[in-house]
């Protein structure tokens, strides 16, 4: 992990604070690599021979319950997740004046824009739990000028990802934007919309890869959007952030060239996923693309790998994680109005960690899922799917 975030809303940190964050980050890396490996070894050596051929991840989960390896892994992973937020909350709350001052400075002459909707009613699925065990969730306490939830998420994510997402946590956005550039060489987007953008870390790469495009980030959290706006301005990237819901995009019919999301669909109940995909189809121009970075579907994975990725649904306040991944992604796109033959999917390496030649070669292959697809590890691969609007 990097000790700095590389933008103008970064916080001054003491040596003790940096050490605390590094410890928690290293602890998470140990759990998700070493302990996860031990859990798999125990399953393959001692559980699988008795279990036979499981039908899916649920059966693997049931077979592991009560085993020491599973209890150790799960308890430590839950503890580490809570430690992520505890390691940064006090720091962020103690730097409220610094954040406000930095925000005012970087937004004095904005390149982009921020549009909030005080009347927006947050849906129940959004505010009923603290997603990812993040205290206060994405919206915090609801103060008009609050920046804390965005700063907590940004600093916490830096600890959480232990360097796997790149210095500015933008590797997903860089990977997906460059996938679109290489997979669809005729694409010349005028308008790109990132839905569920949180702090805009995967929004800005679209402007960097397609500098002529008008890039928008949509989210329900006013606090995260304020932080996203300040973050973008400090990086001198013109992006437009607007508060809204995925089920009702504030764009005219056939007015958008790319509708994008990253790790967002699994936050939604299935009916909201379907509503969002229909909205994506509505706002896309002919020839435009819908692209979602997500975790691969359960039906395409080996049972243990499906169980491993579904762990969050049971233990990390991700109530819709599994039910989304149990769906068929192509069918979702067809139901939204896209043609069957216009569906696509791909597995790709992290763009900022490989050569463009290797990246381009990888996205030209059929999606081949393995144990590292979507799994936060040193050898992670991203998965993306979507459809072209005819």
Q: Which residues contact 366 (CB under 8 A, 6 or more apart)?
A: none
What CATH number matches the domain at 1-390, 3.40.50.2300, 3.40.50.150, 3.30.1960.10, 3.30.420.40?
Answer: 3.40.50.150
**pLDDT averaged over the chain?**
94
- Residue 206 φ then ψ, to 5°: -65, -35
Torsion of CA 311, 156, 172, 41, to 10 degrees: -30
**Residue 13: count of CB within 10 angstroms of its CB:** 17
- Ramachandran angles phi, psi of 68, nearest 5°: -60, -40
Q: What tens digit of pLDDT does each residue of 77-133 get?
A: 999 999 999 999 999 999 999 999 999 999 999 999 999 999 999 988 887 888 899
DSSP string, 203-243: THHHHHHSTTSEEEEEES-HHHHHHHHHHHHHTT---EEEE
pLDDT of residue 48: 96
Q: What is the pLDDT of residues 145-187, one digit of tens each?
A: 799 999 999 999 999 998 888 878 999 999 999 999 999 999 9
For the whole model, what pTM was predicted? 0.95
More confident: 166 or 191: 191
Q: Judge whether 384 and 293 are in contact, CB under 8 Å.
A: yes
Domains of the chain, residue spans:
1-390
């Amino acid at each position: 992990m990097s000790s700095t975030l590389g933008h103008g809303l970064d916080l001054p940190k003491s040596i003790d604070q940096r050490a605390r964050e590094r410890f928690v980050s290293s602890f998470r890396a140990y759990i998700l690599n070493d302990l996860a490996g031990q859990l798999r070894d125990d399953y393959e050596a001692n559980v699988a021979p008795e279990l036979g051929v499981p039908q899916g991840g649920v059966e693997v989960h049931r077979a592991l319950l009560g085993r020491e390896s599973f209890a150790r892994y799960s308890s430590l992973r839950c503890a580490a997740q809570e430690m992520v937020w505890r390691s940064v909350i006090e720091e962020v709350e103690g730097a409220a004046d610094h954040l406000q001052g930095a925000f005012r400075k970087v937004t004095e002459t904005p390149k982009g824009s921020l549009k909030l909707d005080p009347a927006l009613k947050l849906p129940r699925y959004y505010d009923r739990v603290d997603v990812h065990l993040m205290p206060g969730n994405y919206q915090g306490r609801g103060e008009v000028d609050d920046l804390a939830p965005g700063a907590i998420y940004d600093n916490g994510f830096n600890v959480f990802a232990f360097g796997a997402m790149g210095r500015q946590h933008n590797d997903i956005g860089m990977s997906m934007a460059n996938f679109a550039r290489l997979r669809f060489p005729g694409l010349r987007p005028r308008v790109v919309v990132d839905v569920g953008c949180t702090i805009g870390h995967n929004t800005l790469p679209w402007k960097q890869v397609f500098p002529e495009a008008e890039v928008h980030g949509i989210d329900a959290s006013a606090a995260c959007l304020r932080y996203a706006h300040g973050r973008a301005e400090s990086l001198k990237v013109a992006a437009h952030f607007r508060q809204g819901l995925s089920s009702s995009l504030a764009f005219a019919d056939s007015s958008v060239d790319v509708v994008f999301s990253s790790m967002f669909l699994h936050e939604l109940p299935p009916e909201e996923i379907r509503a969002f995909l229909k909205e994506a189809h509505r706002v896309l121009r002919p020839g435009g693309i819908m692209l979602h970075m997500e975790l691969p579907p359960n039906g395409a994975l080996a049972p243990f790998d499906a169980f491993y990725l579904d762990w969050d649904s049971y233990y990390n306040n991700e109530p819709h994680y599994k039910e989304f991944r149990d769906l068929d992604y192509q069918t979702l796109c067809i139901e939204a109005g896209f043609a069957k033959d216009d569906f696509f999917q791909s597995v790709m390496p992290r763009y900022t960690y490989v050569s463009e030649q290797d990246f381009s070669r990888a996205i030209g292959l059929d999606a081949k899922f393995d144990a590292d697809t979507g799994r936060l590890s040193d050898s992670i691969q991203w998965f993306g799917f979507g459809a072209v609007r005819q």
